[in-house]
Structure 1
Amino acid sequence: MVVAGVHVSIAGSLDQAAGRAVERGCDCFQIFTKNPRGWAAKVITDQDAAAFRNAVSASSLQPIFAHMPYLPNLASEKPEMYRKSVDALVLELQRCSLLGIPYLVTHLGHAGDDTGLGRDRVVSAVLQAFDQDSSDVTLLLENTAGERNSVGSRLEEIATVLNGIGDKSRTGICFDTCHAFAAGYDLRTPDAVSSVAEQIDTLFGLSRIALIHLNDAKGACGSGLDRHEHIGCGSIGEHGIAAVLQHPGFNKIPVICETPVDDRRGDAENIAVVRRLEAEVFQNV
């Protein structure tokens, strides 16, 4: 059975996240370690870290993932933004280490001058961060949705960045289905999913994927629209999501849903749909 979860809030205190994940029927979960819309971060005390670790241990949820805040841009051509982004990456790696979170997810960012130069800056940023952080937290590079000037929308770009970083022990991939679809990778049928899986395996290996952000998409394939939809309700659809869940290259990888919470569905309902689609047999697909 797939290990599935959602992104949960840390409102109130970090340790409350585990309970929220349990309430939603999760096996694993993802958090921001701080306010994702600001640069400042409240210090994690020893008591905070112990409370979080104890809550996770009591819940039996694993693995746990953290996500970088929204503001840092590791591909930025602007020196001040770039410096702040590297510092933010170092800080998040350190916070994950304190909390016992083994994985940190990051977008590669946007380059206002040239995406090739942006890729080089991402490599340099990660290497600088690893030089300043000696923890064993694994950094997961997340594919982006094909927005203008984005770095990491193409699988080839991610392979180039991985090769530039070089340290396989501290890097991996977070594969986002909505982002991939928006960037032009069709995921609507088993054959299409197999084609994408083959490309991944050829470029850097399916074994490098440590997490799937399992999100349906509001936009069309290749639209560049980073808008997530409820599982099975978007342009990828139930057949496509089921094909991802059932593909032998993907079906042992933990999934986190970053789907909407609205009057149609909440997190628990999307997890339930994931469970159903994992086992459902579709005819004439």
Structure 2
Amino acid sequence: MLLGAHISISKGYEHAVKEALSIEANTLQFFTRNPRGSAAKALNPVDINKMRELIKQTGFGPLVAHAPYTLNLASSKPEAREFSIRVLREDLERMSIVGASYMVLHPGSHAGLGLEKGIEKISSALKDVVTGNEKVMVLLELMAGSGTEVGYTFEQLYEIMDRTGNPDAFGVCFDTCHALGAGYDVIDSLDKVLLEFDKILGLSKLKVIHLNDSKFLLGSRKDRHANLGEGKLGLETIKNIINHPELKDKPFLLETPGGMENYKKEIKMLKQLAEN
């Protein structure tokens, strides 16, 4: 079972993997750069080599990078969109050096332009950046649909990928909190939700799961993470998700409140909930 959390790389990649191992995680997610800015820490080849050796020794799972929140491929402002394209291109190259398998990306916000225009702008930008020959796969994250977010339905994600002309180059990150907010009933109809995902996108597209409880109800269109078992999803739903035959072999990544101590507690709990 692949269990991990979002961990800072401020002290280096080797340190981040060591931190993950200290909480009994075997995969992790990290930001490619300052999540709310543009600064990117220079890569240290010595640190990366040490991390790779540690991964080899421990059988550590895939590294999952997360693009900064400042990227908005749907922006109507040329400078903002150009910035997003440049950073995405740079980070795909940087993450290939690090050895990340995936890079999670929030599709973008249309800011009043409308969904159709937003989808058009996002797919056009991705077409410019992603060739399909990258070592790192871009994963579009399923969003909750807050404000003018694009990508809160399976159909929207399909449209974005399809319009790039190279849909096989992309995958999906399924966030359990976002899914509930977007109106997908993973509590009472998990099988139905996954069947719909398979029909529209294909379950092979689902590469990573952000395992978060939600502070808000089904269809709220709100994105507020809660600790596992303390939100509207509840522990029974979390148990069903991690043990579902179509999901149980995917990397599960925590983005819940409380930091490392909480991650350690929740990973221990998830291992107890897992059916052997």
| TM-score, L = length of structure 2 | 0.94
Equivalence for 1:36: 35
Match of 2:271 among 261, 264, 275: 275
Q: Is the 8 A contact 1:74 1:86 kept in 2?
A: yes
* CA distance, structure 2, for counterparts of residue 59 and residue 249 of structure 1: 26
Aligned to 1:202: 199
Alignment partner of 1:254 out of 228, 251, 254: 251
Residue equivalent to 2:176: 177
Query: Partners in 2 of 1:60 and 1:34 — Cα distance?
Result: 26
Partner of 1:226: 223
Question: 2:26 touches 2:61 (CA, 8 Å); kept in 1?
Answer: yes
AA aligned to 1:216 is D
- SS of corresponding position for 1:279: coil
Structure 1 residues 236, 56: closer, same or farther in 2, change over 3 A? Answer: same
Post-superposition Cα deviations, 1:109-162, rounded to whole Å, max 9, x if no partner, equal 10011121111111111111125x953211111011110111001111011112
- The percent of aligned pairs where both chains have the same amino acid is 34
Q: Which amino acid aligns with 2:124?
A: S
CA-CA distance at 1:54 after TM superposition: 2.9
Equivalent in the alignment of 2:98: 99
C-alpha displacement of 1:239: 1.5
1-side partners of 2:176 and 2:150: how far apart? 16
User: For 1:1-285, what aligned pairs fall within 5 Å after superposition?
Assistant: 2-112=1-111, 113-131=113-131, 134-189=133-188, 192-261=189-258, 266-279=262-275
RMSD: 1.9
Structure 2's unaligned 5+ residue stretches are none
Inter-partner Cα distance in structure 2 for 1:76 and 1:59: 42
| 8 A contact 2:187–2:233 mirrored in 1 | yes
1:85, CA displacement in angstroms?
0.4
Amino acid at match of 1:179: H
In 2, the alpha carbon distance for the partners of 1:273 and 1:146 equals: 30
Distance 1:75 1:203 in 2: 22
Point out where structure 1 has 5 or more consecutive residues left out of the alignment: 281-285
Partner SS for 2:274: helix
Q: Does structure 1 retain, via aligned residues, the 8 Å contact 2:142–2:173?
A: yes
Q: CA deviation at 1:235?
A: 0.1
Aligned residue-pair number: 275
Structure 1 counterpart of 2:2, one-letter code: V
Q: CA deviation at 1:47?
A: 2.9
Contact 1:29 1:61 in 2 (8 A): no
